[in-house]
Structure 1
Amino acid sequence: MRRLPSLAPEVRQYLVVTGNYWAFTLTDGALRMLVVLHFHSLGYSPLQIASLFLFYELFGVVTNLVGGYLGARIGLNRTMNIGLALQVAALLMLTVPPEWLTVVWVMGAQAISGIAKDLNKMSAKSAIKLLVPEGQQGALYRWVALLTGSKNALKGAGFFVGGALLALLGFAGAVLAMACILALVWIASLFLLKRDLGRAKAKPKFREMLSKSGPINVLSAARLFLFGARDVWFVIALPVYLSSVFGWDHWQVGGFLASWVIGYGIVQTLAPGITGKRRGSVPGAAAAFGWAASLTVVPGAIALGLLSDGAAEVILLGGLMTFGVLFAVNSSLHSYLIVSYAKADGVSLDVGFYYMSNAMGRLIGTLLSGWVYQAYGLEACLWVSTFFLATAALISLKLPRHRFSAS
């Protein structure tokens, strides 16, 4: 802490942005696990649980689009702080007496949480573009990978925290504790985060929200299918399957999913080395296609394995580990490419548009996860995932073929 004042202003702002993102992500992961496990224990069907996240994902689509516009007009510091405040409000909404926790009420709280999450994420990812010197693509890739990977590791920790808090404090006690901690982070951020961070020099017009950049449009379409492919089996189907088919309790489900996401986040931080930055260049279109294509075979292989007479737990968990490693590299590579392609002035417009597609993919994946699992089972979810990944790989072929120097 004594060294903090001596750090460069850009580094201090990076630490503040990252700290905010970490704190928010921890509560977001915990809340998702709390909702899934608590309402599953109350007898809700997979499709009903998926519907609780409908507004979370739907409002995330709108928020990324409008939030990027707001970030360019009012500054990323304000959009990040608004996101923190809204998450506190969403958590407090869930501390009401149990009889008030109707589907509509929880969907409303999740809507506010979805707005908060995507305001926070868009602000953090956009800020990195402004804090790394122009032209240093290797440094940009490392910083984006570190932010993205650490976020997902903490989201995994949030899964575990959610399962543990549910067992220790109950649903209302857990969300109240998280609301109090996040409120303190929000108050600190109001004083520490730089004013006007990311505000565009020329006020963007409302019609400029829709990206006109070919590479960003292509990358956004690939991102939609990439994250739809993950969430179609991971968000609802997997935790319910582990609980109902394998008989795992809350601690086991939360602990395993936490470990998976933590490992996934660690791999994301290592992605620059894995994808070849050490050879003097950073990856582009060919890498985006290759890594997506390699991931495509995994969910189909898991589905075939589950249809065999082999040990279902070994097949599912081993396949999930393989999927996590490959998906982490894909995600980190995409996160770098969007920040690299985005314009520095009004960066949040491009990043917000891209993460709108990310949110749309999560929305589609979440809804399909509940419906397909309830109607046809986990194997069907995995085949949908395979189709989505193949689509993402084919779309990636249209990205620009040039490569950047890693300097």
Structure 2
Amino acid sequence: MGLLSLRGKSQHLSKQVKQYLVITGNYWAFTLTDGALRMLVVLYFHQLGYSPLNIAMLFLFYEIFGVVTNLVGGWLGARLGLNKTMNIGLALQIVALSMLTVSAEMLTVVYVMAAQALSGIAKDLNKMSAKSSIKLLVPEGAEGKLYQWVAILTGSKNTLKGIGFFLGGLLLTLLEFKGAISVMAVMLAVVWIFSLITLKEDLGKSKNKPKFNEIFSKSSSINILSAARMFLFGARDVWFVVALPVFLAVTFDWNHWWVGGFMASWVIGYGLVQTVAPHFTGKKQGKVPSGKAAFQWASYLMFIPAAIALALHFDFYIQTSIIIGLLIFGAVFAINSSLHSYLIVSFAGKDGVSLDVGFYYMANAMGRLIGTVLSGWVYQEYGLAACLWISCLFVATASLLSLLLNNEQQSTQRAVD
């Protein structure tokens, strides 16, 4: 009986792992279209003569609905299962892409904002589903293995998003806007049909149906970490979303191919560093990161945008300073992001994990929203250097917040491999 029981558990775990692999594949496919769509929108509407602030406004609903989706999506994931939230996200992204295949005359600011709203909902349903699944597959206490899995998933996703940036610039050059969007919609429709057929398990479905008022975290550690995450991602997007691609196109006269290629290279490198982040944060010594590690790495990051801003101010090899400086920023930021992604999955409760993860990524989306709006407005009014100084201030705030985390358990825990 014992052997039969063990065999049954093994088979059940195997099914969960297969389901998780399908979810991860869906997440990767979605990420390609999400990265490509962002680059297509920035470059195409800049080409049409939109101001940096107007381009930023195109992403306003994308980020706002991302905030809402992470709150509500975590609750839905706990009640319905992560397979259903994943499939809903894929379907919404197909609708969003299809909306953008209309003629250029119909692509008004309000219309594109509505399509981006659907895309924002879709993206965060997918992210929440994939990230929440990891908690359910790693044994209790295996914090080192958990950190590795989170780092690999997060890093691979961002690598693919970078490839998506490159793909967006390439497709815009080869097929123009409508053709590029149509190709991506067809590709994602095939993935969605496959997902409907293969995703059967209610992975992540809470045993106790959570009430809607439970979407807000009651954990002080998760609340503090969420606030730090908000400022961390605001620090990235304040220069990355609108200011940098427009600056590269205007100041250096780079075409779509070069802009998309640089942005893609940045995100691909960022993703690759994320996958190996555990090696930089104490894995060789058998340690898993704590809030102290998050504070230290954020402190290192803080000086990089300040150095680039000074190079701009003193006209010191501007092109070289920006390219090299932002590549260094990307590497250090990747380690910060990977640390945060591990900590939230570690802090989250096992039952209804998507509630805690959803709340945390709500803060992540809020940071992106703040960064996106500031990226367009500050760049238009004051230039790229001002965006970088704000980035420095945001990172400093994230660093100080990390000191408040209660990490006694985290700092003493040993990795289990």
What TM-score bracket applies, with the shorter chain setting the length? over 0.9
| Shift, 1:135, TM fit | 1.6
Q: Distance in 1 between matches of 2:220 and 2:195?
A: 36
| Shift, 1:9, TM fit | 2.9
Identify the residue that residue 25 of structure 1 maps to in structure 2: 31
For the pair 1:165 / 2:171, whether they are aligned, the reply is yes
Identify the residue that residue 332 of structure 2 maps to in structure 1: 326
| Shift, 1:11, TM fit | 3.1
Q: Distance in 2 between matches of 1:255 and 1:345?
A: 42
| Shift, 1:132, TM fit | 1.4
| Shift, 1:368, TM fit | 0.1
Q: Distance in 2 between matches of 1:232 and 1:30?
A: 20
The residue matched to 1:43 in structure 2 has which SS? coil
Give yes or no for contact 2:239–2:384 (8 Å, CA) kept in 1: yes
The residue matched to 2:296 in structure 1 has which SS? helix
For the pair 1:245 / 2:251, whether they are aligned, the reply is yes
Identify the residue that residue 103 of structure 1 maps to in structure 2: 109
The residue matched to 1:201 in structure 2 has which SS? coil
| Shift, 1:93, TM fit | 0.3
Q: Distance in 1 between matches of 2:195 and 2:296?
A: 40
Q: Distance in 1 between matches of 2:268 and 2:261?
A: 10
For 2:415, the aligned partner's letter is: A
Among 142, 155, 161, the residue aligned to 1:155: 161
Q: Distance in 2 between matches of 1:231 and 1:345?
A: 33
Q: Distance in 1 between matches of 2:125 and 2:88?
A: 8
Identify the residue that residue 63 of structure 1 maps to in structure 2: 69
For the pair 1:202 / 2:208, whether they are aligned, the reply is yes
Q: Distance in 1 between matches of 2:230 and 2:312?
A: 27
The residue matched to 2:117 in structure 1 has which SS? helix
Identify the residue that residue 130 of structure 2 maps to in structure 1: 124
The residue matched to 1:309 in structure 2 has which SS? coil
Q: Distance in 2 between matches of 1:138 and 1:278?
A: 11
Identify the residue that residue 303 of structure 1 maps to in structure 2: 309
Among 359, 377, 398, the residue aligned to 2:365: 359
Q: Distance in 2 between matches of 1:11 and 1:353?
A: 25
Q: Distance in 2 between matches of 1:46 and 1:15?
A: 39
Q: Distance in 2 between matches of 1:102 and 1:165?
A: 21
Q: Which structure 2 residue ranges, 5 or more long, are not aligned?
A: 1-10
Where in structure 2 are the equivalents of 1:132-147 lying within 5 Å? 132-147=138-153
Where in structure 2 are the equivalents of 1:375-386 lying within 5 Å? 375-386=381-392
Identify the residue that residue 188 of structure 1 maps to in structure 2: 194
Identify the residue that residue 321 of structure 2 maps to in structure 1: 315
Q: Distance in 2 between matches of 1:238 and 1:194?
A: 42
| Shift, 1:16, TM fit | 1.0
| Shift, 1:195, TM fit | 2.1
Give yes or no for contact 2:204–2:353 (8 Å, CA) kept in 1: yes
For the pair 1:372 / 2:360, whether they are aligned, the reply is no
The alignment of Structure 1 onto Structure 2 pairs a total of residues equal to: 403
Q: Distance in 2 between matches of 1:309 and 1:120?
A: 43
| Shift, 1:186, TM fit | 0.8
Identify the residue that residue 79 of structure 1 maps to in structure 2: 85
The residue matched to 2:141 in structure 1 has which SS? coil
TM-score calculated relative to the size of structure 1: 0.98
The residue matched to 1:283 in structure 2 has which SS? coil
For the pair 1:405 / 2:414, whether they are aligned, the reply is yes
Q: Which structure 1 residue ranges, 5 or more long, are not aligned?
A: none
| Shift, 1:117, TM fit | 0.2
For the pair 1:222 / 2:231, whether they are aligned, the reply is no
Identify the residue that residue 287 of structure 1 maps to in structure 2: 293
Q: Distance in 2 between matches of 1:48 and 1:222?
A: 28
The residue matched to 1:400 in structure 2 has which SS? coil
Give yes or no for contact 2:19–2:201 (8 Å, CA) kept in 1: no
The residue matched to 1:8 in structure 2 has which SS? helix
For 1:159, the aligned partner's letter is: F
CA deviations over 1:73-130 (Å, ceiling 9, x no partner): 0001100110000000000000011111010110000000000000000010001111
Q: Distance in 1 between matches of 2:375 and 2:107?
A: 23
Q: Distance in 1 between matches of 2:297 and 2:223?
A: 19
Please report the RMSD computed on the Cα atoms of aligned residues, expressed in angstroms: 1.2
| Shift, 1:56, TM fit | 0.1
